[in-house]
Amino acid sequence: MYPEYMVAPIREDLTSVGFEQLATAEEVEQALKGEGTVLLAVNSVCGCAASKARPALKMAVAASDKKPAKMVTVFAGMEQDAVAKAREFMLPYPPSSPSIALFKDGELVHMIERYHIEGNELQRIVDNLQGAFEAYC
């Protein structure tokens, strides 16, 4: 686990634009099992989260007419039970942070793993997210 003072500004990078921070397995289950669309971001302290994942999330949400009904986040390396529960919902994909998942009516419909993020251009990630929003939201 990281010191909270270190991750607080990283959490705020997403919560300041409307993402809800989920801290428990129960919160994750409640958020992901419901009806409608839910965008889940597995946040991280790594460089590709800072330079690609979080900026792509913010850009895609800001520029899209169609958006998920709810946006939530868990933080890898912090709330272990919440992250573990989120990863259960993302099976069969292996654990990956950062990662981004889109759920519709409780089912995983779109997944962006770390390898889609770290070696990719920012705009391609934004386009990927916007395409998923257009298809499912």
- Which residues are part of the catalytic machinery? 46, 48
Tokens describing residue 84: 């573990």
Rounded distance between C-alpha atoms, residue 78 and residue 36, angstroms: 27
Rounded distance between C-alpha atoms, residue 16 and residue 107, angstroms: 26
Q: Are 59 and 130 in contact (CB under 8 A)?
A: no
Rounded distance between C-alpha atoms, residue 51 and residue 43, angstroms: 12
